[in-house]
Chains A and B, each alone.
Chain A
Amino acid sequence: MVYKVLLPRIDPAMDSGIIAEWAKKEGEPVKKGERLATVESQKAVFDVEASESGVLRKILYPVGSVVPINEVIAIIGSQDEVIPEAEAVKSQEKAGSPEAERLKVSPVARKLAEEYGIDLAKVRRSGPEGRITREDILNAVKGRGEEKEAPPAAHMRNVEEIIPLTSVRKTIAERMTYSHTNIPTATLMMKVDMSEGKKAVQRDKDTISYTALFVKAVATALKENRIMNSTLEGDEIKILKDVNIGIAVATERGLVVPVVNNAAEKSVQEISQFTRGLVEKAQTGKLSFGEMSGGTFTITNLGTFGVEAFMPLINPKETGILGIGMIEDEPRVTNGQLTIRPTVTLTLTFDHRIVDGAPAARFLSRIKELLESPAALIS
């Protein structure tokens, strides 16, 4: 019996994946459930397992190939069974791709896209059920006019290396362009005395991390300032029930954002343990889609690189993002006395369509207050 191994869709936004690794060679025996290949999607890295036991007879896409979902990537069969030609399998499966995968395009949008030569795959899908509408096409046409080629360099430049965008990079590029183009932001900065926080972390190094303190403080402040935990959809601001904190983590592949769900309900110790696990997974590319979805607010920390303060871009669909700088001893005047205090600069960038400066400032000062007296957070 010949079994076809298909590239699965692991998240709703996924339309293709890159084969990162083949764990088996052609001709090697495989057992049902064994790892066959590792695939990188726009958002995650995941394994494709053998659907049946047998011999991996044919690999249809080498490492590095970009493969659309539901495409046959390999064939499992018995040792000497006749297997179909690779090309025949590919085209056959394509023709039979399920209806659910169809791109939804309104008739007028399809007609306009044809007239203007717009690639439907690249157009925003703003209509109900993700349908591409007339407006989406007209916006794409408008955008095309503006998106002029970069001016030619004054002289020929010698290119040393060409790095194709990985899917993680492409996703970051799209989301950040969207954020920067569409979200009018304002930024607030505040210095926080971390004396007490530092003591707590030093006292319980193994169970309490700075990251966990920040996550807990932000989550607690979000619970009290619900407007910061919201999303703007059309004419409605939707206040979100859950407070899930995304933590921006730098990896070799690029930035990924694992999420701590219901962070306000977790203890700092729990969050510490949990985030250490998440960060490790992020760095080894093992995060599942579930571990990266559902965030309602993001924090990002560049303090470990010596950055004092920075203005991050909002993760689209969220209302704010908190940038955390380096914790550094600074001279401070307290009660008329010059003292030296470990200090951090927090930078809150927020969506000014949703919230104004004063409530955002109240939110930020609440974070400051919690971090400066962390006993309440830790207990």
Chain B
Amino acid sequence: MRDISYAEAINEALKEEMERDEKVILLGEDIGIFGGVFKVTRGLLERFGPKRVRDTPISEGAIIGAAIGAATTGLRPVAEIMYMDFLNVAGDQLVNHAPKIHFMSGGKLNVPMVIRTQFSLGRSIAGQHSQFFPAFFMNLPGMYVAVPSTPYDAKGLLKTAIRSNNPTLFLESAVLYSAKGQVPEEEYVVPLGKADIKKKGDDVTVFAFSNLVSKALVAADELEKVGIGAEVIDPRTLAPLDRTTILESVKRTGRLVVVEPDCKTSGIGAEVITMVLEEAFDYLDAPPVRVAALDTPCPFAPVLEGLYIPNEESIIQAVRKIV
């Protein structure tokens, strides 16, 4: 084990999978010569050459459209979209085609494609560069959605996603790129659809993902000091969602708080809580609570953005409301 950053872990995953399988290729804006605007693809062009690491024009529709074409005809493309906000430009390719081709071809075609992108919530770059709307993609059957919170998970999940025959949306948190964590030197993978219990506890289940996992863990440590045991569950992928782990935990604790960096209304919490109400109503000892971003475009001013995103304190308050 050694400490490496989230960005380095993703870079390692790409490198290892490209070495392992020559069908793995990269495409995206400024990923080659420039090494990616967040330097995640640094050194890959030099190592694997321009045939496998392609800088593209500024056209998200072309990037994802080309990736779909490559995937259906035998390659394993990893496309990078610079900001999650820009996925919307490629709506037709992303929504109408990528997740549907396998089904509509009667299973004859697969789309083994990964779309890597990052959301910049927390970097004070305003409403059109800070959006995080993962719930939208949970509503797209056929699309996998990964939301890693640690370098370990980011590397292991990306390797699995590249080997998967399903299209996978790989949502990286830009504020986590420099965060360091333990990552083994030897090969490992993390399965898609398997949640990780980041901390054990008996009094309340705290469901948190991506950049809010570390905040939930700080909150859980604070709560422990006042005798409240919070179990922090990181789903790692939102689709497939590991319902079993969530349900087992809630059945034990009787209480659920969902912490989500997306907007509250019709967000991830709405889905997770409804699922729990359907499956474990008789185990609940308190009404579930959502701690989410506000239902407004993300503000530019850092102070306002700080109020917009859930933090340790709002998580603690939510837990104390029901415990």
Contacts and interface: CB of A to CB of B under 8 A. Distances in A.
B282 A128 contact: no
A107 B283 contact: yes
Contact of A107 (B226, B227, B282, B322): B282
Q: Which 5 A-B pairs have the closest CB atoms?
A: A106-B285, A111-B282, A107-B284, A134-B285, A108-B285
A106 B285 CA distance: 5
A234 to B, nearest CB: 9
6 contacts: A106-B286, A108-B283, A108-B284, A110-B282, A127-B285, A128-B322
A112 B286 CA distance: 14
Interface in A129-168: 131, 133-134
Interface string A333-356: 000000000000000000000000
A110 B281 CA distance: 11
Contacts of A110: 282
Contacts of A111: 282
A108 B321 contact: no
Interface of B: 226-227, 254, 281-286, 321-322
B78 to A, nearest CB: 45
A107 B281 contact: yes
A127 B286 contact: yes
Nearest to B281: A107
Contacts of B285: 106-109, 127, 133-134
A131 B286 contact: yes
Contact of B254 (A128, A134, A235): A134
Given A106-B285, A110-B282, A134-B285, 17 more contacts: A106-B254, A106-B286, A107-B284, A107-B285, A108-B254, A108-B282, A108-B283, A108-B284, A108-B285, A109-B285, A127-B286, A128-B321, A131-B286, A133-B285, A133-B286, A235-B226, A235-B227
A92 B285 CA distance: 32
Contacts of B321: 128
Contacts of A108: 254, 282-285
Nearest to B321: A128
A111 B285 CA distance: 10
B48 to A, nearest CB: 55
Contacts of A107: 281-285
Nearest to B277: A107
A134 B283 CA distance: 9
A12 B286 CA distance: 22
Contacts of B226: 235
B256 to A, nearest CB: 12
A296 B23 CA distance: 77
Contacts of A235: 226-227
B202 to A, nearest CB: 12
A128 B286 CA distance: 8
A298 to B, nearest CB: 31
A18 to B, nearest CB: 35
Contacts of B286: 106, 127-128, 131, 133
Contacts of B284: 106-108
A177 to B, nearest CB: 26
B70 to A, nearest CB: 50
Which has the most chain A C-beta neighbours within 10 Å: B281, B282, B283? B282
A107 B283 CA distance: 6
A31 B162 CA distance: 84
